[in-house]
Each structure stands twice: as structure tokens, then as C-alpha cells.
Amino acid sequence: MLNLFQSHLHPHQDGLPARTRLSRRVALALCGVAAPLWLAAPAHAGISMVQPPKRIDATKPLELTLLVSEDEQAQRTYQLPATLLVAASADMIPPQQIALQRVDGEDSLTLKQGEFRKVRYRGELPRRLRGMVRIEPIGMDASPVLVAVVRPDPSLGPLPESPDLINTPLADSTSKVAPVAPSATVFTPGANASPIDSAPAAEDILSNNRRLSFNEPMYFTVGHNNGDTNARFQLSFKFRVFVPDDPRSRGLLDNLYLGYTQFSLWDLSAPSAPFRDTSYRPSLYYYLPDVGIQNRVFSRIGIATGLEHESNGRDGTASRSINTYFIEPTFNFGNLNDYHFKVAPKVYAYLGATRDNPDIADYRGHLDLKLAYGKPDGLEVATMLRKGKLGGKYSAETQVTYPLSRLLPGTAGYLMASYFYGYGESLLTYNQKDHPQLRIGYALWR
């Protein structure tokens, strides 16, 4: 068992910053999940956990047991929340909040020196979560855990039983503990926490915890227009050049990324089904998903800025090529793990000669305005708006996505519908107004 909790009431202790000390005082107790307690008096307390099993049987309730002991104070009062929230996510599955209910114990308890008490919380794992599942407590600065979630095949019998450490008799575990009048702050995760601290955002879990990760949306869609059947697909990755010693670093090299995006239009109706056009877009940029600004308006602000090249790799009159410098802040409004709004204006300037397409700014302009509203584990509607320098030269694209795992547990990615209207769906036709196009398909990342 691990002792994970320390007193929190002193603003300074041993010369450490308050936030650093707070992270040490968090009670993380997991039997496949995590939960907190809040102390009522300044001193050390023993909050321990029974180590979770490596495998969890998802056909049974998910259970958390906290072991609370008092070794230093003559007497201490605790407040126990009735409901605890955790965020659980699997590979390519956005985080989903799970509420755990306390199944025994009083709202308040008092322990004398040498006494301890166990408190259990219980909840259900959603069916869409399987394989290696990451579980992270909401509303406290504590490390997540990985567990293997298994739904046993009845024909193969139950999973091997792990030693039942929770119910092992413990000395003094039946010590009488009487409820007392509330005398400590009740900490309810998800209610007192900010949108940033309440749980890991999907962006953090799925795109920023690996060296090679997603960049822009990745999808394959098909549509029919003007008698032609066509497909559109995009691949997009980013690679972190350096991994810093301190993940909080905001240095240039520590947050430098190489990006690559490839976009293609495929004519499925024409003989031999040729590609109408393909654009290749490598980039080198600085990216910080959270600059640390949070207030009543913004729940998170991120920034990306750097150099980007885009060309279609063709020669002669079909050749297209541009180089740009861009800056793209991202503003989030609302709880990042619930329905929230995102605004990301991408401002860019053209660099060097544009011999293949000297008037491209007349049709593309200098700004892509990206708007999105949705929930990490639910529906999202995202729109990109673009207006050229010339009057009436504009384009708009809307993408609607929904997690496929909500419909077919065990799958990943998203069902997708997209609608494009305006100029230049591809770089080749930047100065041509395309027919409105509706497509449906599958997105690996949105």
C-alpha cells in the first residue's frame, strides 16, 4: 500500500510551492479507479490504497476502496463525498466521465490515533471501453493508471480471481467511528475544479502524449455530384522533434513539431478512377496546447505558429505551390470534457514568389476561421470559413462527426458527414467555384 496524502492547509511547507505540495497531498486510491478525500486539520494523515489488479472484469461493478488511517493526530475529522468522478479512456476513445457512488460509510467520520477505516465506491464501466483503459481522477492532481478491461467469454470460464485484499481482516478495522457534525471542507471532484483541471481533455490524451500523433483531421469520405462519384481523403501526422526533461517546458525546441498533411480528391466515376488533385503540406511549427491562461471566459488557450509549404507536385499549367508563415491561437470556452465551444483563427502570410498562382490571396485570403462545438465522447460540429481578398470569393466547409464506438463497441474513430461550398476545394482549383458537395464516410481523427 502507498501513502499518498499529506496535509494541505499550510500555504508553504519546506520551501515548496503550494501547487507542488498539493500534488503530493492528493489521495489516489484505486481498485481499478481513483478517488479523493479532503482533510480537516493540518498534519499528516494516512490515505492508502489497495493496488488494483492488472485485469478488471467489466461484467462486474468497478469498485474503489479507500483505507483511511490516523497515525499522527490525537483525532481528525474527514468529509467523504457521496459521488466521485473519474475520466476513463481507451485507445483512440475520448475520455468519458464515470460517476462512482459511495456504498458504505457516513458522510463524516472521526478517527483517533491508531484507528483506520475503509470506504468503498462503486460504478459501472461503459461497454465502449475495452482493452487497455486509462483511468484518471477528476478534480485533483494525481497520476492516472492503466488497467486491462476484460469482458470474459462465458464459454471460457471466469477470470482468475485476484487475492481479495479489500476484504482481508485488518487489525482495528472494526473500531467504532461515530459520525460528527461537518467541520471540514467537502471536496467534490468536478464541481470545485476548473474546466482545465477537472479531467484530461481528449486532445491531451489522444494527440499530445505520444511523440508521433495526429495533427489535422484524418478521414475518408464519398459523395455523388453532377453525375460523378468522388472521394476525398486526408492523412495528417505530427512528430515532436525533442522531448523535454520537464513536460511543462515552453521552450522553442521543447515544443517544436514536424507536421505532414496529405489531401486528395479521387474521381471514382472516370475511367481508371484517377486522382483529380493531391496536395502535400509539410510544416515546421511551435505548438503549445495550453499557454496557462484561464479565466471566467476562457477554459484553455493554445497556440501554434510556424512555416508551412503546400504544393500539388505537378508541373506545367497544373502546378500549384505556396509557402506561408502562420499563427493559430485556439480559444476554448466551457468544460473541455463536456459540450464546449472552440474558436481557432489561422492567420497566414504568403512568403516568396507565387509564380504558379500569383492571385491566390484573392481567393484564399489570409485567414481560416475554424469553429467547433461538441463533446469529446459525443457529437461535434466543426466549420471552416475562408474569404478571399476579392468580393464574393469565399468558401465554407462543415464536418459533423460522431464516435463510432457509441454505436459499435470495440470500434474506434468517427462517423462523418461533410459539406463543402465555395472556391478551391483543392489547390488546383483555388480560383474556381466548385459545385456544393456532400460526402459521408469515416474519420480516424477529428
List residues bridging with 111 in a β-sheet.
Answer: 76
CB 419 within 8 A of CB 437: yes
CB 77 within 8 A of CB 40: yes
- Sequence-distant contacts of 245-252: CB under 8 A, at least 24 apart: 250/288, 250/291, 252/286
**H/E element, 24:** helix 18-25
Active site (catalytic) residues: 309, 311
Closest listed residue to residue 145, CA positions, set 73, 54, 226: 54
